Each structure stands twice: as C-alpha cells, then as structure tokens.
Amino acid sequence: MASRRIVLEGQLCSRAMALGRARLVHPAHFVVDETPIGPRRVAPETRRFEQALADARAELAALRDQLSGPLMLELGEMLDAHALLLEDPAFIGAVRERISGERVGAHAALKRERDRLMAEFEAIDDPYLRSRGEDIEQVIGRVIAALYRDAEERIDPASLAGEIIVTDQVSPADLANWHEHGILGVVTTGGNPLSHSAILARNLQLPMLCGCQDALSQVHDGDVILIEGEPPRLVLHPDQNDQARFQAWQAQVARDAQRLGRLRKAPTRSRDGTDVALWVNAEREEDIREAWKLGAAGVGLYRTEFLFLQRAGLPDEDEQFNAYAAAVRAMRGRPVTFRTLDIGADKADRSGLALAQEPNPALGLRGVRLSLARPEVFAIQLRAIVRAAALGPVRVLVPMVANVRELRAVRAMLAAAVRDLASAGYELGERISLGAMVEVPSAAIAIDGLLAEADFVSIGTNDLTQYLLAADRNNDAVAGLYDPGHPALAFLIERVAVAARGAGKAVAVCGEMAGDPEFTGHLLRLGIRELSMHPSALLSVRQAVSAIDLGAAA
C-alpha cells in the first residue's frame, strides 16, 4: 500500500516544530439572499442589523478584555480600530439606507456596502492605504457572521487544546486567544513571516507556518500533521522517519533548555573576550522581573504607551509615577530606559488624545512630534519619570526623532520638569540621560549632529527598515521587500555605530533584529555592543554571542 504522506511547502514564521491532529478553521462563506423585501420587512431587518452590530461590538470588547496585559499594545490597536468602524455613523447610515431604499435584507445590504468600500480601497494607488481595506472586510465580515450566528456553529477556543490550527489567515487577537487555550501550532494558507501574527508567534514561541497554499484543500479535521521549520513545510500523514525526527528535535530542545538555563547568570561575552550588554524591551513589571533573573544589563526600552492605551482617559502624574516606580524597583539598581509616548493619530483616540485622522499615520503626528504638539500631556509624563528616577538609575528615550531640534526641545522640557519638582520639594535622583531613537533615515544619516545633543542612541530597526526600504512589513503585497538583511540598512547601522563610538556615546539596537540569534553576529560585526530584546530571546542571544570570535570575523 502506497504511503499517504504528503509534503506541503510554506514560509517559516516560528522555528519550533509541532506534531498533532489538525483542526480546520475555514473562512466564513455565507450565501447571501438578494431577494427584495416588502415594506413590512424594513423595520425588522434594520433591527437585525442593529442587533448584529451590538453583538459584534460586544464580541470585540470581550476579546479585548480577555487579551489585556502583555498583548494589549500589540493587539489593542487592531481591536480598537475595528470597534471604531462599528461606531462609524456613515457606515451605519449607508447600510440602513440600503435596507430601506433598495429593499434588501440586512445581510445583502451589508454585502453591498462592503463591496462598495472594498472597490474604493482597491482603486487606491498607495499600497499602504490599499491594505487598510482588510480592516473594512474583517469588520463587516464580523457583523455578517453575527447575523448568521444562530445558524453557524461557533468555535469554542477551549476545544482547540492540543490541536494544530489550519486556516486561511489568523489575526493576532485570535492567535493569542488560541495560544492561551493550548493549541500546539498554526498553519495558514496566506500571510507572511513579517506580519504582526508571525512576530507574535515567535514571541510566544508557538510553531507557525504561513503561505502553505494547499493546506485547506489537502488537510482534513483529525489528520495527523507535522510542522517543520528547516526546511519550512507541513507534512501530512507523517511516517515513522518524520516522527523520529520530531522526537529527536524534542530531545534537542530539552538539552538546549538545560544548557541555556546555565547561562542565566553568565556574562555575555564573545569567544575572544568582547563584552556585550543585553538589555530587554518591556511593558510589564513581569517582563522586568524576568529580565533581572536572566541577568539583563537593564531595561533598554520600556513602552510607556501601554499605560495610555489600556484605559479610556489620560493617566495622571501619580498613576504614571506608580507604574514607572514599580519598573525601577523591579530592576534593583540596573538602569531602566523609559521610551516616551510613542503613538500617532491611529491610536490617539483610545488614549484620550483627540487628534484629526490622517491618511498615513506612519508618516504623521506620532512619537516625539505628538509629544511636542501636546506639551501639557508630555510635561506630566516627564515629571512622572523624573520622580521615578529618585528610586534608581533612569534614562529617557525619545521616539521618532528626525532632527536635533526635537531633541533639544525635549531636553528643555526635561530640565523644566527637574526644576519644578526640585522647587516643590521632591527628592530627585542622579542626572537623567537623554537618548534618541534612530528609526527615521534622516536621524541615521545626520547622526553626528544628533550625537552632539544625545547622551545615547538606540536604533529601532523595525521602523528604520520600513522607512528606508519604503515597505510596510504588514502589507502582504510588499512584505517581500522588507529585508532586515538589506545592505543599505547595514550601512546605516554601521554609520551610527562608528559615529557613536567616536563621540564616546552608547549605541544599542532595540528592534526585532536584536533578539534574533541569526543576526547577532551581523550586528556585532557592524560595531554594535548593546542589544535590547524581548526577555524570551535573551538566553539564546547570549549563547550566540559566546560562539562568535569577533577578532577572526574582523
């Protein structure tokens, strides 16, 4: 009897392997009845639409609450953007008008409005803006699904425990939800390794394969499947050799974990004796406590926007101080670097900041630009950080810096905060270092001028790569152009490293590259000696550093 074994190629999102039974999650396909309705059906269909809207809003709110905490910053943006669309009076009014004017049912009215909006987005030349049509499609799809809820069997996430999900696409929210309920891995027919979902899978150390185009047509519920990373592929009906390879991988993982465990308190030093400082990126006190246990040099990037995005209004000075103070205490004398508020118009509404909508928020009023445009909000944040500095060493890191004038303005406001608090009788700590994020190409090109004002710099490779290559990593159409290994990015990283070393200033990399052991040697050879990453990556990077002979590499 011939073997049923089938191999399907895909793209690697997360290196871990998984062996288990498949659970197919098909995209929702509903048969929409376009039959005209009579006048008496207009009011009931309108009520059905409004109830479906309410159900969709409640579903989003419940999902947001369930995923609060460490994933809030990553997922809250998407969920809140979808919630805003469900409140849009233009959208709601257009659907109501179709029900009453075109005399069609709620499902048909929703479909027609979705098709109209999607056609408008498809006609946009800009790929970034065109990709935002996915939000429209997902939101309206959620409302349509709510209309059919009585007829559709809903998936209970708890029933997914111990299974490998096979689906077309997965949102970060669903991925986090399924992970919390114990799935073994995910295979998608679409997506790319640079999407938010793929990055989240890596942070969660969850096996994930994307771009596996034939998975939904070849795999059935209950089939035994194997996710492999090297090479990236899905094995359907794995044979004894496949299962033996998986068992060998499991044994290797156990050995690696034991070996990495021994590195928890070890110094981070290359094979030829070059010391490297490993910092962590954090937004929760739990991350910081873990970083301290792992022997991190400090917190290289504390995301302060988490405080602003998890509540309806703006956090006051005391609330911010309490959060920052907890971070400083948890690090027990090691430095904590607070990145000042890094949000733009796309997130401002849910932070209590009222800003006009922008056609391209990535190039708009965000980061330091927003902080300087709202000095009354920024001053409160700086005061809270200065107060926390009385408890331990603190640094301030300014995001989205494009020119030295912005950094000078921040330094002036920081100095004013110190003077005001001293006059008010607050206990103050040592001088607070002020640093700049290098994530805008102009900052990297004109780094000498920036270093004259900055005490240190930190290279944010995620945005720097995106802006340098003009490629949105979350847009499938151009994601292949987003290349952290591009020589132009290496040129800028080395330029910043050399300039910082010449000026006697510290320089770190805090983007996703910093936590990827495959890039460790590359960054060290470019002159980087400080890396800041998610705590889960610290031991793997420490191991990678110990294997490198920088003298031989040079």
Catalytic residue among 107, 196, 212, 534: 196
Distance (Å) of CA 421 to CA 185, 282, 340, 373, 435: 51, 27, 19, 22, 21
Contact between 148 and 130 under an 8 Å Cβ cutoff? The reply is: no
C-alpha 507/C-alpha 456 separation (Å) is 6
Terminal-to-terminal C-alpha distance of the chain: 57
510 is catalytic: yes
Residues written for the chain: 554
User: What are 293's two structure tokens?
Assistant: 């246990």
Distance (Å) of CA 289 to CA 283, 340, 450, 538: 11, 21, 33, 13
- Residue 100 burial class via C-beta count within 10 angstroms: exposed 0-12, middle 13-18, buried 19 and up: middle
Alpha helices in 123-239 (DSSP H): 127-131, 133-147, 172-180, 196-204, 215-218
C-alpha 218/C-alpha 231 separation (Å) is 19
Which of 306, 300, 314 is closest to 377 using CA atoms?
314
* DSSP structure string for 468-524: HHT--TT-TTTGGG--TT-HHHHHHHHHHHHHHHHHT-EEEE-SGGGG-HHHHHHHH
Q: Which residues pair with 22 in a beta bridge?
A: 164
Q: Which residues pair with 20 in a beta bridge?
A: 225
Residue for token pair 């002020």: 434
C-alpha 294/C-alpha 263 separation (Å) is 8
Write out the E strands in 295-401.
298-303, 336-339, 394-398
User: For residue 554, how many other CB atoms are within 10 A of its CB?
Assistant: 8
C-alpha 139/C-alpha 86 separation (Å) is 7
- H or E, element range at 210: strand 208-210
Cβ contacts of 372 within 8 Å, gap of 6 or more: 378, 406, 409, 410
At CB < 8 A and 24+ separation, what contacts does 251-255 make? 253/16
Rounded to 5 degrees, what are φ and ψ at 22?
-80, 145
Catalytic residue among 13, 210, 510, 534: 510
C-alpha 237/C-alpha 239 separation (Å) is 6
What residues are annotated to the active site? 196, 510
